[in-house]
Amino acid sequence: MITKLQNPLAAAVLSLLLSVGLGAYLCWQAALPAIKVALATRARHVEEKKAKGWDFWTIEIENLSNELKDERAGLKQRTGLLDQRAARLDAEEKALAQIRSDIERLRKEIGDQVIAINADEAKNLRTLSQTYTNLTPKAAVAIFREMDDTTAVKILSLMKPEVVGHIFEEMSRTAGPDGSMLARRVALLSEKLRLMKSGKPDSPG
């Protein structure tokens, strides 16, 4: 045996084998931590997939999951918009109902207060209408805004339509005592003029 080891060729082969074995061992030792990390990572991925309720998880399934999430988010947004639109429509319907109620109440008030000019007041009203006709629309409005509706309608009914039109135009641009425009009163006076009983005296020429 010693003789064989003393043979240069045998010694070279033995040295080569030892070098290869030592190199393989060192490589294994160096790769062992990386192998452990890879195994741990794989085990973690497996656990994550199982936690998702699947034995496997592919790119296609991941994409499908993301699409479903996007669809759910979009549906939630559209539902919110529909709820807002429904609330807005409900508010508008209530507002329209209130307007209709106000109009009906106004019509009833007007119907209950149809105006007629008595014979004993016709002369004085005719004089007042002639006086206000000669005023500027702004001055006439300043007087009418302080006058009750019944008297105002009687005087206006004795004026020419073009004069009344100028007064109403000025009145619609004028603020009332509460700061609001007098346009609503113009509408009220116009409706009362329309409903005045016939038989009024002739308007001034």
Element containing residue 37 per DSSP (H, E): helix 8-51
What are the CA-CA distances from residue 93 to residues 54, 99, 106, 119, 192 (Å)? 52, 10, 20, 48, 29
Please identify which residue in the block is written with the tokens 């936690």. 51
Report d(CA 14, CA 12) in Å as an integer: 5
- pLDDT for position 33: 74
Q: What is the torsional sign of CA 14, 15, 17, 21?
A: positive
Task: Report the SS3 class of residue 181.
Answer: strand
pLDDT mean across residues, the chain = 78
What are the CA-CA distances from residue 112 to residues 47, 154, 188 (Å)? 84, 16, 13
Neighbouring CB atoms inside 10 A of 186's CB total 19
Angle at 47 between CA 45 and CA 53, to 5 degrees: 110
Task: Report the SS3 class of residue 96.
Answer: helix
pLDDT in tens, the chain (205 residues): 545 445 666 666 667 677 766 666 666 666 667 777 777 777 676 666 555 555 555 777 878 888 888 888 888 888 888 888 888 888 888 888 888 888 888 777 766 656 777 777 888 899 999 999 999 999 999 999 889 988 999 999 999 999 999 999 999 888 876 667 788 889 989 988 888 765 444 444 3
